[in-house]
Amino acid sequence: MGSEVTGKGKTVGANGPLPAAPAPAPTKIRITEDAEATGETAAAYDYWRAGAGRQQVPGIIKCFGARPDFLRQVVDFSNTVHFSEGHLARRHKEMIATYVSYLNRCPY
């Protein structure tokens, strides 16, 4: 994709520095942060962590915090469709998704 992060933390594309992403806009969806997650929501976040192997729950997952039953279905669906092995390895799919999110100025 032709971009790299320099030692100074700046992203440089094939045609020079890429503009910094704007600050995330406030959302109309209630986000359930880790610190306030209890019961089924906390359990659903732990379910995501167990499958992802990461500790920090991303905002896109937190959007479903109000519906932990649905969150588990989203996680399972995402793992099946987006992150199963196929023509592209998971690593490459995540790199593409990250780059597309950056281009779309998506805060997630």
Contacts of 68 (CB under 8 A, 6+ apart): 39, 40, 41, 43, 44
Structural domain boundaries in the chain: 25-103
0.75 cut: is pTM over it? no
Calpha distance 69→39 (Å, rounded): 12
List the chain pLDDT tens, one digit each, 108 residues: 454 545 455 555 566 676 676 666 676 788 899 999 999 999 999 999 998 888 999 888 999 999 999 999 999 998 888 777 788 888 888 889 889 989 988 876
Give the CA angle between residues 52, 3, 100 to the nearest 5°.
50
